[in-house]
């Protein structure tokens, strides 16, 4: 007998997982966002944000699940201007075709997110979101819907004045910039030749944020710990801890394994994505997460089902059951085993 959403509620594994090493500034970014709403007299939004964070923590602890996804991530296109050493697109040439989701489709999906109670939107998985031609209108539309959380994840190289202003005007709560280096030399090896431009863009953002007298969006900077970056991790933490609101050192995922799928067993698998998010790809496919391994995991397509239908689909119920019973499909097995985090085979969304 399949599990319904109700009894899955009681069965979510109560495992805490370690994946990312996070260093925070003097204040927790969640507190910064909450305080911002309070100080702007937006008590209703502050309250909703608090409830959402409490629910998020309950989901992570395995105490609760929702009948709609708390977080929805979008890959608006598959275009990118970089060729990072660690990125799957380096192996998968098919990923550079600049295919995109239609503008009106995105608007409809954003509207549905608001209607069903989604708390958090993420733009910028799989590609470089600022290459999407109508990105500023999309961001403004999301801003008008007043989600409690709004993530923008970018490589930062295209952050000019106009884009920074839209970020500051659209209710973006978190700006996540992937840097992966403290030196031009390492950046060159990992991400390419725009290190100084990137640094100048980030400091321009910080300057403009300060001039506005606003704490939002909080700045999160990320580095993937790999053989290319290992010697700079400590300096990265030291440097950015004083400047950014959050410094996230992430495990490298072995991208070769996305196609090879070399593992067939995993002990004690844990992942909280099936309870925390839906990812919508540029072609309208619903996925249970934004791991590259989810290319093998398709719930359905926006042409055939709503976001809520995808979330409550037999596919998702079965995926959650797999984690509850600790017997997961080979794609999740390989995803978890490909995280070179050392001791733990766990994927954990860190929002
Ligand atoms: C795919 S990118 C999309 C957003 C944007 N293009 C960027 O680079 O930030 C999202 C995040 O995934 C990370 N990522 C890409 N390939 C990875 C891998 N093999 N292992 C771990 N993280 C990876 C990137 O460094 C980035 O922080
Ligand atoms: S910028 Fe992001 S999407 Fe583009 S190649 Fe690098 S990691 Fe991949
Ligand atoms: S284990 Fe990996 S592929 Fe499976 S749902 Fe979690 S993040 Fe996605």
Answer yes or no: are the C-beta atoms of 171 and 150 closer than 8 Å.
yes
Question: Over the Cα atoms of the chain, what is R_g?
Answer: 19
Q: What is the pLDDT of residues 10-63, one digit of tens each?
A: 222 222 333 566 776 667 899 999 999 999 999 999 999 999 888 888 887 777
Q: How close is the Cα of 260 to the center of ligand 3, in Å? A: 16
Q: Given a cut of 60, is residue 350 above it in pLDDT? A: no
Q: What is the pLDDT of residue 10?
A: 26
Q: Given a cut of 90, is residue 8 above it in pLDDT? A: no
Contacts (Cβ under 8 Å, ≥6 apart) of 176: 124, 151, 152, 153, 154, 220, 221, 222, 248
Q: What is the pLDDT of residues 301-313, one digit of tens each?
A: 999 999 999 999 9
Q: What is the pLDDT of residue 340?
A: 52
Helix and strand totals (H; E) in the chain: 15, 12
Pocket lining: 125 vs ligand 2, CB cutoff 6 Å: no
Can you tell me the mean pLDDT for 101-105?
93
- E strand or H helix at 74: strand 71-74
Can you tell me the mean pLDDT for 123-127?
89
Q: What is the pLDDT of residues 153-162, one digit of tens each?
A: 999 999 999 9
Cross-sheet strand order for the sheet of 218-225: 21-24, 246-251, 218-225, 174-178, 149-154, 120-123, 71-74, 277-280, 285-287, 300-301
Decide: helix, strand or coil at residue 316: helix
- Determine the longest span between alpha carbons in the chain, in angstroms: 59
Pocket lining: 323 vs ligand 3, CB cutoff 6 Å: no
Q: What is the pLDDT of residue 59?
A: 82
Closest residue CA from atom 27 of ligand 1: 178
CB atoms near residue 165 (< 10 Å): 13
Phi first, then psi: give them for residue 24, nearest 5 degrees. -110, 155
Query: Cis omega before residue 217 (within 30°)?
Result: yes
CB atoms near residue 107 (< 10 Å): 15
Confidence of residue 344 (pLDDT cuts 50, 70, 90): very low
Q: What is the pLDDT of residue 96?
A: 61
Lowest mean pLDDT among 2-16, 139-153, 278-292: 2-16
Contacts (Cβ under 8 Å, ≥6 apart) of 134: 103
Q: What is the pLDDT of residue 309?
A: 98
Q: Given a cut of 50, is residue 5 above it in pLDDT? A: no
Pocket lining: 338 vs ligand 1, CB cutoff 6 Å: no
Q: What is the pLDDT of residues 217-276, one digit of tens each?
A: 999 999 998 889 999 999 999 999 999 999 999 888 888 888 899 999 998 898 989 999
In angstroms, the CA 306 to CA 178 distance is 31
Q: What is the pLDDT of residue 97?
A: 66
Can you tell me the mean pLDDT for 95-117?
90
- Ligand 1 pocket test, pick from 250, 258, 341 with the greatest ligand atom count within 8 Å of Cβ, gives 250
Locate the ligand 3 atom nearest the alpha carbon of residue 331 and give its number: 3
Q: What is the pLDDT of residue 82?
A: 92
In angstroms, the CA 289 to CA 293 distance is 9
User: What DSSP designation does 342 have?
Assistant: S
Confidence of residue 297 (pLDDT cuts 50, 70, 90): very high
Can you tell me the mean pLDDT for 280-297?
94
Contacts (Cβ under 8 Å, ≥6 apart) of 248: 20, 21, 22, 23, 176, 220, 221, 222, 223, 350
Q: What is the pLDDT of residue 99?
A: 86
Locate the ligand 2 atom nearest the alpha carbon of residue 87 and give its number: 8
């Amino acid at each position: 007998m399949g599990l319904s959403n109700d009894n899955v509620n009681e069965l979510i594994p109560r495992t805490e997982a370690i994946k990312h090493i996070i260093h925070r500034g003097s204040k927790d970014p969640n507190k910064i966002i909450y305080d911002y709403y309070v100080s702007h007299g937006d008590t209703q939004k502050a309250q909703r944000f608090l409830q959402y964070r409490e629910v998020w923590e309950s989901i992570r602890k395995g105490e609760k699940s929702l009948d709609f996804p708390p977080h929805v991530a979008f890959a608006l296109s598959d275009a990118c201007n970089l060729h990072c050493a660690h990125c799957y697109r380096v192996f998968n040439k098919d990923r550079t075709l600049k295919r995109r989701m239609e503008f009106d489709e995105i608007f409809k999906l954003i509207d549905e997110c608001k209607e069903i109670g989604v708390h958090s939107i993420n733009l910028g998985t799989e590609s470089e979101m600022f290459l999407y031609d109508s990105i500023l209108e999309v961001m403004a539309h999301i801003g008008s819907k007043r989600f409690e959380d709004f993530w923008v994840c970018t490589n930062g190289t295209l952050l000019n004045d106009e884009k920074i202003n839209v970020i500051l005007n659209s209710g973006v709560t978190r700006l996540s910039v992937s840097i992966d280096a403290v030196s031009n030399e390492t950046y060159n090896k990992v991400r390419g030749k725009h290190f100084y431009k990137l640094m100048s863009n980030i400091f321009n953002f910080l300057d403009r944020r300060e001039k506005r007298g606003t704490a939002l969006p909080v700045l999160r900077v990320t580095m993937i710990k790999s053989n290319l970056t290992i010697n700079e991790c400590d300096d990265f933490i030291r440097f950015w801890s004083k400047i950014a609101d959050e410094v996230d050192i992430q495990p490298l995922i072995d991208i070769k394994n996305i196609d090879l799928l070399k593992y067939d067993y995993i002990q004690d698998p844990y992942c909280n994505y099936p309870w925390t998010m839906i990812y919508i790809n540029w072609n309208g496919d619903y996925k249970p997460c934004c791991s590259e391994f989810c290319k093998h995991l398709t719930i359905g397509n926006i042409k055939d089902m709503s976001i809520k239908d995808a979330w409550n689909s037999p596919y998702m119920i079965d995926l959650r059951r797999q984690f509850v019973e600790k017997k997961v499909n080979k794609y999740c097995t390989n995803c978890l085993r490909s995280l070179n985090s050392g001791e733990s085979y766990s994927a954990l969304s860190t929002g």
